[in-house]
A = this chain, B = another copy of it.
Amino acid sequence: MRDRISKDRYEPAYAQLAAILRRRIAEGVYPPGEKIPSESAMSKEYGLSLMTVRQAIGVLMEQGLLERIQGSGTFVKPLKLTESRFDLDSLREIFHDPERTQVKVLQINLTRADPKTAEILQLPPHARVILIRRLLLRDGQPVMFHEGHIRCDPRRPVVEAELSLGPLSDLFNGQGTGTAKKGELIVLPALLGEEDAALLNRPVGSPAFRLEYTVYDFDDVPFGWGWFTAPPEVMRLKTKLGLWEER
């Protein structure tokens, strides 16, 4: 109870309270599964308004440390491996600095849709599509392979951005100014085939991630799909959960 919120400080009150609660959880004062003091109790104890207390709890909820149960209380959440979340941070680095990243276009064609592409893009068989295959290099070393299929739509100005030699930033850092409304992604384990392995300069049959995507425009029409192939060193799916130092 000796913890206080200092008013005259750069750190907002809700953040201070969140830090206090976080520390108490780490010290075992509030063990996993247990209830923490009620919002009104903390409001009085620290001289904060209810909304501020709630904001502090909100912070720790986003971090997966607390759980609110209406009418019953706020509880310390035990670790659940099934609730872990992975993101593609490791790829962000790559696409965010054009200094070290180069793109080598292997192939770019106006061609006819194969059956799978026709199905995914909801096109008649043999409709026209654009096929792109490219290699992503990092400091000159090949790190990722990409194959993409784009609907060939007269209404859309065949998005130069998507064909550009640029750092793919349009696909990964925001679809141009907004052709895409939604997308679907799936990560799969895969083996490097002969071609992939040669391109990426790795042994045939070594394990890699395959990131498949489909993107839809604002009419909910799928306009592109494809995949990236990346070895695990490049695309790390790593996460922490529970109480690590700073978040």
Contacts and interface: CB of A to CB of B under 8 A. Distances in A.
A228 B117 CA distance: 34
A interface secondary structure, majority: mixed
B178 A218 contact: no
A125 to B, nearest CB: 27
A77 B180 CA distance: 11
A33 B207 contact: no
Contact of A180 (B216, B238, B242): B242
A236 B86 CA distance: 12
A175 interface: yes
Question: How many copies of this chain does the complex contain?
Answer: 2
Q: Which of A32, A79, A89, A205 has the most CB of B within 10 A?
A: A79
Contacts of A178: 31-33, 76, 78
A51 B54 CA distance: 13
Interface in A165-189: 171-178, 180-189
A13 to B, nearest CB: 16
A155 interface: no
Nearest to A95: B82
A59 to B, nearest CB: 12
A38 interface: no
Contact of A172 (B26, B82, B236, B239): B82
A28 B180 CA distance: 11
